[in-house]
Amino acid sequence: MPEKDWKIRMRIPWLLFLFGLGILSLHTAANGIEPTGEKTEETTHPSIEEEDNVLVLKKSNFDKALKETKYLLVEFYVTLSGPSQTLAAEFAKAAEELKSAAVDVRLGKVDVTDQKDFKKEFNIQDFPTLKFFVDGDRSNPVDCKGVRTASAFVTWVKRRIGSCSVHLNSTSQAQAFIDPEGLAIIGFFKSPPGGVVEVFCDSARSTPEIPFGMTSSDEVFAHFGIRENMIVIFQKGKPVYNEVAEEGKLNHMELTRLIKTFTMDLVTEYNLETSVKIFDVPVENHILLFIPKSSTVFNEAYENYKTVALEFRGKIMFILVDTDESRNGRVIEYFQVIEIEVPAVQILNLTSDARYKMPAERVTGRNLRSFCQSYLEGTAKRHLSSEEIQEGWDKKPVKVLVGKNFDKVVFNKKNHVFVMFYAPWCEACQKVLPIWDELGKMYENRKNIVIAKIDYTANNVQLLNVERYPFFRYFPVGSATRVDPYKGEHTLDAFVNFLEEQIKAQKKVSSKTKKKDVVKEQEKTTKKEEL
């Protein structure tokens, strides 16, 4: 299943920045030293040792534990990993509670720091990993994922070995079941519900932190005004979502994803704490709004974002990144968001790692909606580090640059190169482009002068101190490194005057002594290094 993969693999690029240290310590742990005294301990203790009601399992007693317990939930961990330590206390609490239950359930743990065999046998990559063994079957354990609290462990196990949800026999039972503060899911199923109930139960088993109830009572159906098989999500005591449960139409992943999105706010602000939750929800599409909260347009943009988030609930997860917050620097860098583009909106497909930039300047409901729609329909343009070089790119008066040919053209010692950086969606750019064409025509037949343009949104070109679109840079003759900003007006006259001055200045420079040129070249090189 793809969702298994993305949780392990795709979480890494996003979270690497935050948990880099945690991962390092995990590696240290994995390469740790051999444990000592294991054998002697085993021979002197015939029964399996326990720690806080949790069986301490090893290579030598693992089979014995499997044989002696009908249901065995095992935590594979490494001592030094932070997440393993956090889990240990909750796991022990759950072990205590389950030990007193009548059924034959036990919890065990294996320190796999040096147990390469265990890691290989159960394909363990993340720590901790939890697996549930039934009837001593060592070959087909069930993964227990995303469970963190003691109560969720208990519910998880109970939903595996018994009924997956609470049977609600009366209106009063249903009312008591619905949590006035949190979430509750009720399946309204008239007989014979068959496959629909299977799907519902699978979702219940994957989300033990949420209460699941089921009813077939006429009284309860009537009370909630329900006539057909239906799954209803209640939030803070009120029905907030319902899904007609038709045989064959509902699938476990979609239902689980939908339900899990209700554990999150419509828009989740990115920070250390939420980053973990964000990846718990199996939605493969993330949209991110990068905006400084101090911005004058923040409130309006945020409201629009929330409105559209509601429309795409369960399909795209809406995340907010405050660019004022210095701790978000790494994430902003990862998505290559530059200051002039903020507020910026991007979609990330976590499965393919493809990124998409919203082709619009303003964060309006309309722009957001059409961006999300085009993405889901597969018509949005994927963001790459460079567009392909256009056929005939150098045949027109204005040369068309992309990431791939940029350096070669602009850092050419023989030419004066004057480049316009634009965004296709920017209105100010639309006004200047025809003027730029005129400039191109004027210099078309002048030797050593290149007028060019580049779509800066579609090509990653590193520049310092970029301004609002459009902006311009001049790359002088005689230097393969120097970049000069253009600060003048966006008129033909101003562009021409600027260019003629550069040409004149260059002529003066070339008539001076070679020695001076060398000095100047050194200055330029220093400048490049600053870039």
Ligand X SMILES: *[C@@H]1O[C@H](CO)[C@@H](O)[C@H](O)[C@H]1NC(C)=O
Note the residues at the interface with ligand X (CB under 6 A): 166-169, 173, 285, 349, 351-352, 375-376, 378
Residue type, 439: L
Question: Is the distance from CB of 186 to CB of 226 less than 8 angstroms?
Answer: no
R_g over Cα of the chain: 31
Q: 111 has which bridge partners?
A: 77
Q: Least Å distance between CB 215 and ligand X?
A: 9
274: Cβ contacts below 8 Å, ≥ 6 apart: 268
Cβ atoms of residues 89 and 149 within 8 Å: no
Which residue's beta carbon is nearest to the bound ligand X? 352
Residue 144 phi/psi, 5-degree rounding, is -115, 105
CA atoms of 252 and 188, how far apart (whole Å): 16
**Smallest distance from ligand X to CB 352, Å:** 3
**Nearer to ligand X among residue 10 and residue 74 (C-beta):** 10
Token pair 């889901």 is found at 376
Query: Minimum Å distance from CB 312 to ligand X?
Result: 11
For the sheet with 166-167, list strands across it.
166-167, 212-215, 183-188, 230-235, 238-244
Q: CB-wise, 370 or 481, nearer to ligand X?
A: 370
Report the C-alpha gap between 303 and 299 in whole angstroms.
Answer: 6
Cβ of residue 93: shortest distance to ligand X, in angstroms?
A: 25
> Measured from the CB atom, is 206 or 285 closer to ligand X?
285
Q: How many CA atoms lie within 13 A of 170 on its CB side?
A: 3
Contacts of 37 (CB under 8 A, 6+ apart): none
Q: Which is nearer to ligand X, 151 or 374 (CB)?
A: 374
Q: What is the smallest separation between the CB atom of 285 and ligand X, expressed in angstroms?
A: 6
Token pair listed for 41: 């301990």
* Minimum separation from the CB atom of position 391 to ligand X (A): 28
Closest approach of ligand X to the CB of residue 11, in Å: 16
Max distance between CA atoms of the chain, in angstroms, equals: 99
Q: Which is nearer to ligand X, 204 or 477 (CB)?
A: 204
- Output 192 or 378, the one with its CB closest to ligand X: 378
Query: Could you give the C-alpha distances from 10 to 5, 15, 27, 311, 510, in angstroms and in order?
Result: 8, 9, 19, 25, 54
Supply the minimum distance, in Å, between the C-beta of residue 163 and ligand X.
Answer: 8
Nearest-approach distance from CB 2 to ligand X, in angstroms: 8
Residues 6+ apart with CB under 8 A from 70: 103, 104, 105, 134, 135, 136
List of E strands, 4-163: 50-51, 54-57, 71-77, 105-111, 129-134, 142-144
Residue closest to 168 by CA, chosen among 232, 253, 85? 232
Shortest reach from residue 247's CB to ligand X, in Å? 25
Nearer to ligand X, 173 or 370 (CB): 173
Bond prior to 46 in cis (omega within 30° of 0): no
User: Measured from the CB atom, is 61 or 165 closer to ligand X?
Assistant: 165
Query: 213 to each of 66, 201, 278, 321, how far by Cα in Å?
Result: 32, 10, 26, 36
Q: Which is nearer to ligand X, 230 or 347 (CB)?
A: 347
Nearer Cβ to ligand X (77/212)? 212
46 vs 378, beta carbon nearer ligand X: 378
Long-range contacts of 22-26 (CB under 8 A, 24+ apart): 22/81, 22/82, 22/83, 25/80, 25/81, 25/82, 26/78, 26/80, 26/81, 26/127
Nearest residue (CB) to ligand X, 376 versus 466: 376
Nearer to ligand X, 168 or 398 (CB): 168
**Least distance from ligand X to the Cβ atom of residue 102, Å:** 15
Shortest Å, Cβ 348 to ligand X: 10
Rounded CA separation 299/502 (Å): 45
Reading the block at residue 14, the tokens are 């996003």
Shortest distance, position 380 Cβ to ligand X, whole Å: 8
Cis peptide preceding 470, ω within 30 of 0 = yes
